[in-house]
Structure 1
């Protein structure tokens, strides 16, 4: 699987330019990478001009997700048992900005747990918004 197809690469570069032009810009993650055999997860909002440095939230499974830069080449170079590699969640879409993900992941201890909690909050909100029968 190609982790960054051209269309996604262009969107991530555009977010990097927007962040440089607008201090305080808080975009929603555009991509989620994950280890299919473990807890490591990355949420990506930007791709630097070098084509390798990604910015986002990284969680290697030690209970302390962190905001920062990480290398696309290093992630692509990870070799897992059974010939597996790091994958991109093609179905990932979020309406939460990166700051919300980071805060929730820190509180929950992982991006995966934060994803569950954020999904529950959306489900609860949708139920609360329904008109009475």
Structure 2
């Protein structure tokens, strides 16, 4: 995906490979987000932790479409790459974002407040 720098893409894929053998078990890994994506003109935010190694177009993370109901789930990277906000601006990588906690904590806080605060 052109909007994801190779180093970030590689880290997401590495996390997906680590998660794959334990996915759905009690040993599932609660990763810190690798990247924060946002629409500068549409109030949407994504915190991604991993890419599915079997389906490299699918990422997992916390998704907030600005409607007050952020949720953990999968997202298509090709759809994100083609997404444009109200002014036609593409998704951007927040180059200053540094995760300070695991994705489950961001998800709990987002559920309580209705938006991702990262």
Name the residue aligned to 1:67.
72
Q: Distance in 1 between the 2:77 and 2:94 partners?
A: 15
RMSD between aligned alpha carbons?
1.4
User: Runs of at least 4 residues of structure 1 off by over 6 A?
Assistant: none
Q: Distance in 2 between the 1:63 and 1:80 partners?
A: 17
Name the residue aligned to 1:12.
12
Where structure 2 has 5 or more consecutive residues not aligned to the other structure, the ranges are none
- Is residue 47 from structure 1 mapped to residue 54 from structure 2 by the alignment? no
Equivalent pairs, count: 112
C-alpha deviation, 1:81, in angstroms: 4.6
Structure 1 residues 98-131: Cα deviation after superposition (integer angstroms, max 9, x where no partner): 00000000001100xx33xxxxxxxxxxxxxxxx
Name the residue aligned to 1:93.
98
Where structure 1 has 5 or more consecutive residues not aligned to the other structure, the ranges are 116-133
Match of 1:30 among 15, 21, 34: 34
Instruction: Flag the structure with higher helix content.
Output: 1
Compared CA separation, residues 104 and 78, structure 1 to 2 (3 A): same
Q: Distance in 2 between the 1:89 and 1:11 partners?
A: 16
Q: Distance in 1 between the 2:71 and 2:86 partners?
A: 26
Structure 1 residues 77-111: Cα deviation after superposition (integer angstroms, max 9, x where no partner): 01335441111101111120000000000001100
